[in-house]
Amino acid sequence: MIQRIQSLWLFLAGIFCAGTLYFDLYKWQFDATTFISPKLLRVNDNYISLLIVLICTILPIVAIFMFKNRKKQKRISIISIIINLIFIGTVLLREQMEKPLKPMPISGTYMIGSLLPAFSIVFLFLAISGINKDEKLVKSIDRLR
């Protein structure tokens, strides 16, 4: 049913994935003597990252409406976790590959946008546990018949 707790977890996972579209992922700091503004890494700068984030956002929202088919809902949640892990890997790879060489950055900072997929993964795990509880509940009711 839509009013189950896993629907809330799936909705929050979709919202957190959508949040990566609005927040920066990484910020490079430069030397104070150079007059260069800090360079930012965003999802919107790369089409592959944008496509992955859109898929990560849509899958949990679609899984909410698969409440009649719990196995399919669970499968979609697992696929969404895998795609979120792929996105985290691409962010780490892009951070290493797009590092500016001249002028050399002093340091870099991961921004809130890079943490949101990790929170989404936590919510997806909570949704899967809720789906498993529903499966056990349905099996126990079937035994009573």
* Residue 129 belongs to domain with CATH number: 1.20.140
Distances (CA, A) of 92 to 72, 74, 110, 137: 30, 27, 10, 41
Whether residue 55 has pLDDT greater than 90: yes
pLDDT given for residue 145 in this prediction: 55
Mean of per-residue pLDDT scores for the chain: 85
- Model-level pTM? 0.85
Whether residue 66 has pLDDT greater than 70: yes
Cβ contact 28:108 at 8 Å: yes
Whether residue 61 has pLDDT greater than 90: yes
User: Per the structure, how many domains does the chain have?
Assistant: 1
- What tokens does 88 get? 């985290």
* Average confidence (pLDDT) over 51-64: 93
Cβ contact 84:56 at 8 Å: yes
pLDDT tens figures, 21-40 = 999 888 887 776 666 677 77
- What tokens does 113 get? 């946008």
Token pair 């994935």 is found at 17
Percentage of the residues of the chain whose pLDDT score is greater than 70: 88
More reliable by pLDDT, 137 or 122: 122
Which DSSP category does 121 fall into? Answer: H
Cα angle vertex 140, ends 138, 141, to 5°? 65
pLDDT tens figures, 80-104 = 999 999 999 988 888 778 776 666 6
Which helix or strand (DSSP H or E) is residue 96 part of? helix 70-97
Residue 49 CB neighbour total at 10 angstroms: 20
- Domain range spanning residue 49? 5-144
User: What is the largest distance, in Å, between two alpha-carbon atoms of the chain?
Assistant: 77
Confidence at 44, pLDDT banded by 50, 70, 90: confident
